[in-house]
């Protein structure tokens, strides 16, 4: 039975219903392996406008277009460099977004006026089924209000955007938990615009990436969508050695995010170990939930420690840096 008295989104696994809403130009939150996306028909400008409105997202921050097969890319982009096929073959479906020359059917609203478009084939069975049924690709940013931490469960989406959308397709907790790695391809030049759920080590098995071509929160704080204030909880985050910072914040109510260390001085409910075994994949999966959980605690400040700079540790550090930016 539907409760008409609340205006929250319905949550379910009904692909048909999701497809109907999307075909009507409405928004649907969809699960992906990285984070939940807020989807609309990518070819329908009026539908895409609703994404920017629901998220309170500035028009200069472009959206990623999602589809289900490499053969569909031709309808979204103008040309596909050879290296894109190599990457697609190896990593799609998966946590990789490629920036390619924009095709005609994609409205400039999606790309924020750029002549390039971000494309991705996500790796989630429900969403792949949905995309196969639709006669159009979907534009989908992360399903959070602009600037806040991305959602990794259907409930996260409900908590913040539930009153603004009719339906959330529930695919469970996201398997990767951190947004896709974004590459721009300029001929043979590969540039990392955003560190993410596909580790550099894996990418480098296929393409060479020079250090100078990796953008981090400190190297390009103002590029579209790369704002340093992105991915922020409401609470202040202090990034650094927790042992070193604890004595400096004496008197404040502290929350802690560590990889695996325990801190006896901090109440148990206010410290989160991202992975007891020190696994960086598990840590990535837990990160955004941890930030949300601590955001709800009666604390003044979150102390977070940097992860080892390897594998998904790099992307976690990038998000923690952005969360801790005090602009």
How many residues in the shown chain lie near ligand TXA by CB under 6 A?
A: 27
Measured distance CA(309)–CA(177) in Å, rounded: 18
Q: Is 191 in the site for ligand TXA (CB under 6 A)?
A: no
Q: Indicate whether 61 belongs to the interface with ligand TXA (CB under 6 A).
A: yes
Binding status of residue 217 toward Mg ion by CB under 5 A: no
213 binds, among Mg ion, ligand TXA, none (CB under 5 to 8 A by kind): none
- 122-135 as b/e, with b when 16 or more CB fall inside 10 Å? bbbebbbebbeebe
Question: Cβ(136)–Cβ(46) under 8 Å?
Answer: no
**CA distance linking residue 226 with residue 210, whole number of Å:** 20
> Are 118 and 205 contacting, i.e. CB atoms less than 8 angstroms apart?
no
Structure tokens at 327: 């602009």
142 counts as binding Mg ion under rule CB under 5 A: yes
Pairing of strands 189-194, 64-66: unpaired
Give whichever of 32 and 273 is closer to ligand TXA, judged by the CB atom.
32
Q: Does 111 bind Mg ion (CB under 5 A)?
A: no
From the list 4-12, 174-182, 281-289, 291-299, the region that binds ligand TXA by CB under 6 A is 174-182
CB of 300 to ligand TXA, least distance (A): 28
Nearest-CB residue for ligand TXA: 225
Q: Which does 111 bind (CB under 5 to 8 A by kind): ligand TXA, Mg ion, none?
A: ligand TXA
**Contact between 88 and ligand TXA per CB under 6 A:** no
Spatial neighbors of 227 by CB under 8 A, at least 6 apart, are: 147, 221, 322
Look at residue 140 and give the partner it binds from ligand TXA, Mg ion, none, a contact being a CB closer than 5 to 8 Å depending on partner kind.
ligand TXA
CB 237 within 8 A of CB 252: no
Q: Is 153 in the site for Mg ion (CB under 5 A)?
A: no
H or E stretch at 322: helix 313-324
User: Tokens 């901090």 sit at which residue?
Assistant: 266
- Which residues sit at the interface with ligand TXA, rule CB under 6 A? 32, 34-35, 37, 61-64, 97, 99, 111, 114, 116-118, 120, 122, 140-142, 179-180, 182, 193, 224-226
- Contacting residues toward Mg ion, per CB under 5 A: 142
């Amino acid at each position: 039975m539907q409760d008409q008295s609340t205006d929250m989104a319905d949550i379910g696994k009904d692909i048909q219903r999701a497809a109907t809403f999307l075909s009507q130009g409405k928004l649907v939150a969809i699960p992906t392996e990285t984070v939940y996306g807020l989807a609309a028909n990518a070819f329908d400008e009026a539908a895409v406008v609703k994404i920017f409105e629901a998220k309170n997202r500035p028009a200069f921050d472009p959206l990623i277009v999602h589809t289900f097969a490499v053969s569909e890319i031709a309808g979204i982009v103008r040309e596909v460099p050879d290296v894109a096929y190599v990457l697609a073959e190896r990593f799609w479906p998966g946590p990789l977004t490629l920036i390619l020359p924009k095709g005609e059917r994609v409205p400039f609203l999606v790309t924020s006026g750029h002549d390039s478009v971000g494309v991705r084939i996500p790796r989630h069975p429900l969403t792949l089924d949905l995309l196969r049924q639709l006669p159009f690709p979907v534009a989908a940013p992360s399903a959070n209000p602009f600037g806040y931490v991305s959602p990794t469960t259907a409930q996260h989406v409900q908590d913040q955007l539930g009153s603004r959308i009719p339906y959330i397709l529930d695919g469970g907790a996201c398997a990767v938990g951190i947004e896709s790695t974004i590459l721009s391809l300029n001929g043979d030049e590969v540039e990392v615009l955003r560190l993410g759920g596909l580790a550099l080590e894996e990418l480098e098995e296929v393409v060479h990436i020079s250090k100078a071509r990796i953008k981090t929160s400190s190297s390009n704080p103002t590029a579209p969508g790369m704002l340093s204030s992105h991915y922020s909880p409401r609470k202040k985050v202090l990034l650094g050695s927790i042992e070193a910072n604890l004595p400096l914040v004496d008197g404040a109510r502290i929350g802690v995010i560590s990889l695996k260390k325990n801190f006896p001085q901090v109440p148990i409910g206010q410290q989160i170990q991202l992975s007891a075994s020190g696994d960086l994949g598990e840590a990535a999966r837990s990160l955004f939930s941890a930030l949300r959980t601590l955001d709800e605690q009666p604390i003044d400040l979150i102390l977070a420690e940097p992860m080892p700079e390897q594998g998904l540790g790099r992307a976690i550090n990038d998000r923690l840096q952005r969360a801790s930016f005090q602009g």
